[in-house]
Amino acid sequence: MKALTWQGKRDVRVEEVPDPRIEEPTDAIVKITSTAICGSDLHLYEVLGPYLKPGDVLGHEPMGIVEEVGSEVTGLKPGDRVVVPFNIACGGCWMCQRQLYAQCETTQVTGEGKGAALFGYTSLYGSVPGGQAEYLRVPQAHFGPIKVPQTGADERYLYLSDILPTAWQAVKYADTPPGGTLAVFGLGPVGQFCARVGRHLGAGRVIGLDLVPERLELARRHGIEVLDVSELPDVPGALIDLVDGRGPDAVIDAVGMEAHGSPVGKLAHAAVGLLPDTLARPMTDRAAMDRLSVLHAAVKGVRRGGTVSISGVYGGEADPMPLMEMFDRGVQLRMGQCHVRRWTDEIMPLLAGDGDPLGVEDLRTHRVPLARAPQAYEMFQKKDDGCIKVVLEP
């Protein structure tokens, strides 16, 4: 089959790889019909190369049609249309019983000290071949895949794989009081959904912050108040002034480790990227620094006693944080990988019913053949051609 493979920094290629097959009785094989590029994939494209090897298959936002199931998969059959969550969970272990599916003890990558295995996401998370391919082997298929209606565009359901539940969890963790104010840093795909979900779940005012004109315009189109951070010399101060001199009740950081405006973190990323993998891995694991400008702005801009919810991916172990200010102001932090299956039953009626209250069919800007995935990665990273969300079609 054809699949998108990692070959090196900013070097991904579509190659022929062996077709997946059933390996465990809880496996399924899914023929992929749509698979998206996630902002997290850009971390692999740019900074997490030490944990990849040439030929690794990328991608963790797939959906498609079930081709084959293992003997212990009773809830699926060939022909079912499914979305595959990015994290792999068994549904029955101690963590899964508490709906902490991103910490599943059956698939935890204990050798690396990490949580549940992920599709297409480095040796840190199990080196499981990903879904930017024609076919995908799905472990723990007795629990993971989400059956969706046979009709309707793929984009109606595709984002259940990651970014929509991730946004839903971020908003739930933010815990904005009814009628309160929520600010969202970063209006990429997750941030767009955070803003829309925030309004849907009862925030009286939602403010989106970004510096990319197309992202700002898309959020504005969905009734979100927007701020262009490139025009603000003091972003936290502007937020505080804008919201009653106190700041918003809750702030979501939907950006993560590669924020703009963090020269020290950017230099650290670049320096580690020049090291051989045997040196880069321990540096990344124990001494890495993130680009923290957005997270610091979120912490400083939220009101006293407010909550900062982090959905953007961070990977640093030596990140400096303003703990005295956080403690004095009583700022609460919530964060973590999304427990996808925890939220999908809440979200599904909004997708399968009439209308499109979360605007899921107004996010994708580019749909391209899998064969053009390398060009799509470059376009997505550079934000060329108004690119906000790319869906690949095998």
Residue pLDDT, tens place only, 169-184 = 999 999 999 999 999 9
Residue pLDDT, tens place only, 332-359 = 999 999 999 999 999 999 999 889 999 9
d(CA 370, CA 146): 23
Residues 218 and 175 in one domain: yes
Residue pLDDT, tens place only, 199-216 = 999 999 999 999 999 999
Q: How far is CA 223 from CA 7, 192, 197, 252, in A?
A: 41, 11, 12, 18
Band of pLDDT at residue 276, cut at 50, 70 and 90: low
pLDDT at 272 over 60: no
Q: How much is the pLDDT for 289?
A: 52
Residues 138 and 59 in one domain: yes
Residues 68 and 116 in one domain: yes
Total domains, the chain: 2
Mind giving me the DSSP string for 13-60? EEEE-PPP---STT-EEEEEEEEEEPHHHHHHHHT-GGG--TTPBP--
pLDDT at 29 over 50: yes
Q: What CATH number does residue 142 fall under?
A: 3.90.180.10
Residues 15 and 140 in one domain: yes
Q: How much is the pLDDT for 50?
A: 84
Q: What percent of the chain lies above the pLDDT cut of 90?
A: 86
Q: What is the mean pLDDT of the chain?
A: 92
Residues 240 and 292 in one domain: yes
Residues 173 and 307 in one domain: yes
Q: What percent of the chain lies above the pLDDT cut of 70?
A: 92
Which string of b and e fits 167-192 if b means at least 16 CB within 10 Å? bbbbbbbbebeeebbbbbbbbbbbbb
How much is the pTM? 0.92
Q: What CATH number does residue 247 fall under?
A: 3.40.50.720
pLDDT at 264 over 50: no
Band of pLDDT at residue 232, cut at 50, 70 and 90: very high
| For residues 51-57, average pLDDT | 95
Residues 221 and 83 in one domain: no
List the structure tokens of 27.
């496996």
Please identify, among 309, 335, 361, the residue that sits at the C-terminal boundary of a domain.
335
pLDDT at 284 over 70: no
Residues 219 and 111 in one domain: no
Residues 324 and 359 in one domain: no
Band of pLDDT at residue 269, cut at 50, 70 and 90: very low
Place of tokens 């919201």: 243
Residues 156 and 9 in one domain: yes
Residues 331 and 217 in one domain: yes
Q: How much is the pLDDT for 24?
A: 98
pLDDT at 46 over 90: no
pLDDT at 287 over 80: no
| For residues 186-209, average pLDDT | 98
Give the closest residue to 48 by CA, choosing from 284, 260, 290, 376: 284
**What residue numbers bound the domain in which 277 lies?**
165-335
Q: How much is the pLDDT for 291?
A: 75
**Start-to-end CA span in the chain (Å):** 10
E runs forming strands in the chain: 2-8, 11-16, 28-37, 62-69, 81-83, 135-138, 146-147, 181-185, 205-210, 225-228, 250-253, 307-310, 332-335, 366-369, 390-393
Q: How much is the pLDDT for 315?
A: 77
| For residues 298-305, average pLDDT | 97
